[in-house]
Amino acid sequence: MKPLTEEQELILGTVRRFVGKEVIPVASAMEHRDEYPHALVAQMKEMGLFGLNIPEEYGGSGVDSTIFAMIFEEISRGWLGLAGVIGSNSVMCDVVGRFGTEEQKQRFLPGMATGEKRGGICLTESNAGTDLQAIITTATRDGDLYRIDGSKMWITNARHGNTFLLLAKTDPTSQPAHRGMSAFVIEKGEPGMTVGRDIDKLGYKGVETCELHFSGFPVPAENLIGGVEGQGFKQVMTGLEAERLNVAARGLGLARAAFEEAIHYAQRRTTFGKPIAEYQTIQNKLADMATHIEASRLLIYSACEKRDRGERCDLEAGMAKLFATETAAEVTLEAMRIMGANGYSKDFPVERYYRDAPLVVIGGGTNELQRLIIARNLLKKYKVDS
């Protein structure tokens, strides 16, 4: 990895101070109340964190993928739910920035960079998550509009956001199905969109996750990303490659927070006259935790550097997402074991980390899917001529 520039160090230092001073002191209490972090989100807007992956000419920071991942690691170390507020939003920014027409970039990206236009991605349906080609939401052309009919679920920022990336079928009869799918930027304000229930979750609290229902919801034809129908599946899948890296970085931040809590506790907690950190069993746990965390970091950075070179990184992003999020699940459980009953108590943040960890294993494409993506790419890479 290349040394960080002075500007990059400044950005990371600012985020670390924000997390240490503003986020960590309030995160557990707000998470237990499932309280939306309005004040923290306002500060993130002022810091420019909504425009991290938006080019400078459209008002963003245009940071590279590695710095982007580092920032997500730092925020997730403080509170995974807070990272979710900008995580889904960043996927929308990536898709518009890569595939939008120049007019669309001029119209949407400056507002996205400031956080004025804030939202996420409307992909998943009750019968379609990992298999996006099974969606049934439709976008039917009606003069200068498209009419959206259907429902989406697991939508982060659905209640407090106002602008979303939507995947729908413009040609439901197309075979294969992905050729009839198109992506749109949709905005609240017109009748026909209803925000449904908030889904009650094990963890990942603070940020809302809702259902969205559409009945003849009008979307201007000029909001069709790229201006051409049938390209939505490819556009969204490219955005999800970036999402896997930010979810991997969230897993890394979560694992790091749990490890740091555990290693500090192990040096303070005494049994039979000495700190538990002096027992070999605890030392073995700490060694494995730290090794997996460092390996996760290197996998993420390797994938980010390949993406910044303009190369496809499906294999590397899949590996990084798989390993870093499984590490988060393992490390949060091991931290709880090291801390014993205190790790299970809400007086300590480890129980929060443990409840948050399954989200990164499942979100951004389940780890079962990541294994399929990895294997498929390995078979291409090591193909044997028959």
CATH code 1.10.540.10 region(s) in the chain: 6-114
The CA distance from 78 to 80, in Å, is 7
Strand-strand pairing, 181-187 and 209-220: unpaired
What is the b/e burial string over 288-318, where b = at least 16 CB atoms within 10 angstroms of the residue's CB?
Answer: ebeebbeebbebbbbbbbbbeeeeebbbbbb
Q: Are 168 and 125 in contact (CB under 8 A)?
A: no
Phi, psi angles (nearest 5°) of residue 191: -65, 155
* pLDDT for position 312: 87
Classify domain 234-381 by CATH architecture. Up-down Bundle (1.20)
Over residues 105-153, the pLDDT tens digits come to 999 999 999 999 998 999 999 999 888 999 999 999 999 999 999 999 9
* pLDDT for position 2: 77
CATH of domain 6-114: 1.10.540.10
Max CA distance (Å), the chain? 79
Interacting residues of 160 by C-beta distance below 8 A, sequence separation 6+: 36, 41, 118, 208
* pLDDT for position 303: 97
Q: Are 317 and 240 in contact (CB under 8 A)?
A: no
* pLDDT for position 98: 95
Those residues of the chain that have pLDDT short of 50 are none
Interacting residues of 94 by C-beta distance below 8 A, sequence separation 6+: 53, 238, 239, 242
Radius of gyration of the chain (CA): 21
* Preceding omega of 176 cis (within 30 degrees of 0): yes
* pLDDT for position 241: 86
The CA distance from 113 to 92, in Å, is 11
Closest CA to 71 of 133, 23, 104: 23
Structure tokens at 198: 């908030």
> Could you tell me the pTM of the whole model?
0.95
CATH code 1.20.140.10 region(s) in the chain: 234-381
The CA distance from 218 to 232, in Å, is 18
Task: Calculate the CA 369 to chain-centre distance.
Answer: 16
Over residues 256-297, the pLDDT tens digits come to 999 999 999 999 999 999 999 999 999 999 999 999 999 999
Q: Give counts: helices (H), strands (E), the chain.
A: 12, 9
Closest CA to 238 of 373, 337, 94: 94
Q: Provide the residue count of the chain.
A: 386
Q: Which fold has domain 119-230?
A: Butyryl-CoA Dehydrogenase, subunit A; domain 2 (2.40.110)
Q: Which residues pair with 149 in a beta bridge?
A: 138, 215
Cβ-based neighbour number of residue 26 at 10 Å: 15
Q: What is the DSSP string of 177-244?
A: GGGGEEEEEEETTSTTEEEEEEPP-SS--SS-EEEEEEEEEEEEGGGBGGG-TT-HHHHHHHHHHHHH
CATH code 2.40.110.10 region(s) in the chain: 119-230
Q: Are 253 and 76 in contact (CB under 8 A)?
A: yes
Q: Are 350 and 328 in contact (CB under 8 A)?
A: no
3-state secondary structure (DSSP) of residue 135? coil
Q: Are 41 and 115 in contact (CB under 8 A)?
A: yes
Phi, psi angles (nearest 5°) of residue 51: -110, 25
